[in-house]
Amino acid sequence: EAGVTQFPSHSVIEKGQTVTLRCDPISGHDNLYWYRRVMGKEIKFLLHFVKESKQDESGMPNNRFLAERTGGTYSTLKVQPAELEDSGVYFCASSQVGVGAQETQYFGPGTRLLVL
């Protein structure tokens, strides 16, 4: 079974540019989560999809971030325009829906974003 994949693995862009990150979850996993780790800080939740619907986007930093999950399969996270503080590692995770959030999230390798 293929794991969670993310593309690209690294991205270096200049401030003001746009970047789009992609996540392919494990097949059959309805839950898809985005997280971010800024250097030196903890991994923080950004948002949660159940199939194609946004279940919780309380962790999104601001309206420069836009996430989509068309058709309930892969997801994209677009940052437009990128700022210096957006640099970090963006993780995607997927899981099967569990009662009482008793689910195991499987993580992708992450996308390392550097905004110069």
Partner 1 sequence: AQSVSQHNHHVILSEAASLELGCNYSYGGTVNLFWYVQYPGQHLQLLLKYFSGDPLVKGIKGFEAEFIKSKFSFNLRKPSVQWSDTAEYFCAVNRGSQGNLIFGKGTKLSVKP
What is the binding site for partner 1 (CB under 8 A)? 3-4, 31, 33, 35, 41-45, 48, 55-56, 59, 91, 93, 95, 98, 100-110
Amino acid occupying residue 70: T
How distant is the alpha carbon of residue 40 from its chain centre?
A: 19
Strand boundaries in the chain, DSSP class E? 5-7, 10-13, 19-24, 31-37, 43-50, 53-56, 65-68, 75-79, 88-95, 106-107, 111-115
Gyration radius from the chain CA atoms = 13
Min dist. Cβ of residue 75 to partner 1 (A): 15
Which C-beta is closer to partner 1: that of 16 or that of 98?
98
Which C-beta is closer to partner 1: that of 1 or that of 42?
42
Which C-beta is closer to partner 1: that of 63 or that of 104?
104
**Tell me, what DSSP letter sits at residue 10?**
E
Which C-beta is closer to partner 1: that of 37 or that of 78?
37
Min dist. Cβ of residue 95 to partner 1 (A): 7
Whether the bond between 61 and the residue before it is cis, its omega within 30 degrees of 0, is no
Min dist. Cβ of residue 72 to partner 1 (A): 16
Min dist. Cβ of residue 116 to partner 1 (A): 24
